[in-house]
């Protein structure tokens, strides 16, 4: 059994919950581990239709909560959970933890100490950021194509080279 399968099969059942997957499709790997599937767009910019669709099964057999396995679903889970009256962080809090730039702004506003950092959006700002942050430095290249095809590469720069530390493509 895969780690994902173990999480979906054992943990909820030990806690007395059923697993319902909501999304555009049911991933093949998840099918053996779930009790129900509801086809809905959880990546829509506005989730009104998705919440309306989920309200009926929730009224009939109340959900215990809304969780995601993928980090790009954190904001949607917060919005859906809040709309259905389930225990959930606010969508604003979800956005703060999901978006590095927004997280940094919140930490600065709260006077929380953190390492030097700079946002980079083009080659000019990369040079300015290097002068501000210094070397060695860690930078995160984010590919923001279509919402479901995001990914990022984290690299260390300094000492005359650039070494990949991590590559994490998002599932399609």
pTM summary value? 0.67
Q: Quote the tokens at residue 19.
A: 């697993």
Q: Using N-to-C axis directions, what is the helix angle for 100-109 and 91-98, rounded to 10°?
A: 100
pLDDT in tens, the chain (172 residues): 567 667 767 888 888 888 888 999 998 888 888 889 999 998 888 899 999 999 999 999 999 999 887 788 899 999 999 999 999 999 999 989 888 888 888 999 999 998 888 877 777 777 788 888 887 777 665 544 444 444 445 555 555 554 444 444 444 4
Q: In whole angstroms, give the CA distance from residue 168 to residue 160.
A: 24
Q: In whole angstroms, give the CA distance from residue 50 to residue 128.
A: 43
Domain boundaries, the chain: 3-97, 115-169
Report the pLDDT value the prediction gives residue 164, as an integer from 0 to 100.
44
Q: Which CATH number fits domain 3-97: 3.40.50, 3.30.70, 3.10.450, 1.20.120?
A: 3.40.50
């Amino acid at each position: 059994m895969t780690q994902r399968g173990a999480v979906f099969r054992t943990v909820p059942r030990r806690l007395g919950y059923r697993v319902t997957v909501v999304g555009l499709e049911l991933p093949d790997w998840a099918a053996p581990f779930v009790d129900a599937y509801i086809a809905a767009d959880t990546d829509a910019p506005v989730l009104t239709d998705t919440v309306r669709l989920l309200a009926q099964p929730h009224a009939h057999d109340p959900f215990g909560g809304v969780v995601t396995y993928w980090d790009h679903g954190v904001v949607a889970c917060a919005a859906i959970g809040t709309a259905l009256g389930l225990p959930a962080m606010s969508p604003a809090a979800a956005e703060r933890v999901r978006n590095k730039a927004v997280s940094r702004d919140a930490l600065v506003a709260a006077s929380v100490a953190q390492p030097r950092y700079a946002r980079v959006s083009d080659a000019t700002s990369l040079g300015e950021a290097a002068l501000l942050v210094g070397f060695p430095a860690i930078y995160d290249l984010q590919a923001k194509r279509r919402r479901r095809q995001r990914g990022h590469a984290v690299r260390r720069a300094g000492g005359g080279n650039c070494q990949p530390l991590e590559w994490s493509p998002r599932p399609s």
